[in-house]
Amino acid sequence: MALGAVFSALEVVPLTLLTLDAWDFIKLTRGKCEVCGRAVAMPHKWAFYFLIAVGFWNFVGAGVFGFLINMPIVSYYEVGTMLTPNHGHAALMGVFGMLGLALLTFALRQVLNDKQWTNIEKYVRAGFWGLNLGLLLMVLITLFPGGVLQLADVLNNGYWHARSQAFLGGSLIKFIEWIRIVPDLVFGVAGVTPIVIAALLAYRTMLKEPVKA
């Protein structure tokens, strides 16, 4: 178990290097062509940004938050507390969710020409930032602080108490649960909705004005 925990912790290292390498590529695309002097064109910019988000959340959700709960001695006390869904939200939506959206964005851009994409891109941009901001707020102001408080209660009063109504019904935990509505609204309204609009508009545009091969 100790050896497995070591390799789980080392997962952070290659993920960090991959994210730094991707960021270097982003900086290159912001330059200008040495021959024509124009800005470097990147038609699949937002698909690549979603892949950057995959690297970020892989580091934070799977790496950092996963490392916090995967150590055997920590897992013995925290399993079933809010630290578990804290890792789950950041790793599942942050990695596989953003990867799926990267593929969706790639497909939408591929079936539209430059002029058609101009009307769709603003929704993709809004969705990208809304989803990432909403997910970030979920873990920062609700799941992580709630999980830390619950872990502290496990250590002080026992696991049974941290899972009982005596703790979960407290005013601070109730506040953390209710404040969750803020990141959920950001995620749903500013994140999910623009992506859905972008997909529907792209589909309608593709049917009316198909891109010629």
Is the model's pLDDT at 44 over the cut of 70?
A: yes
pLDDT over 70, % of the chain: 85
Is the model's pLDDT at 213 over the cut of 60?
A: no
This prediction's pTM:
0.83
Q: Which two tokens stand for residue 190?
A: 């500013």
What is 2-208's CATH topology? Cytochrome C Oxidase; Chain A (1.20.210)
Q: How far, CA to CA in Å, does 27 sit from each of 20, 21, 30, 45, 164?
A: 11, 10, 5, 12, 50
Q: Which two tokens stand for residue 24?
A: 């270097």
Res. 14 pLDDT band, cuts 50 70 90: confident
pLDDT of residue 56: 87
Q: Looking up tokens 């938050």, which residue turns up?
A: 65
Which residues make beta-bridge pairs with 39? 32
Is the model's pLDDT at 207 over the cut of 80?
A: yes
Return d(Cα 204, Cα 120) in angstroms, integer.
Answer: 11
Query: Which residue has better confidence, 184 or 114?
Result: 184
Which residues make beta-bridge pairs with 32? 39
How large is the average pLDDT for residues 114-124? 92
pLDDT of residue 173: 92
How large is the average pLDDT for residues 193-201? 96
Mean pLDDT, the chain, rounded, equals 86
Res. 31 pLDDT band, cuts 50 70 90: low
Query: Which residue has better confidence, 121 or 51?
Result: 121
pLDDT of residue 32: 65
How large is the average pLDDT for residues 90-99? 91
Query: Which residue has better confidence, 151 or 20?
Result: 151
Closest CA to 135 of 169, 98, 172, 168: 98
pLDDT of residue 33: 60
Q: Which of 75-79, 99-103, 156-160 has the lowest mean pLDDT?
A: 75-79
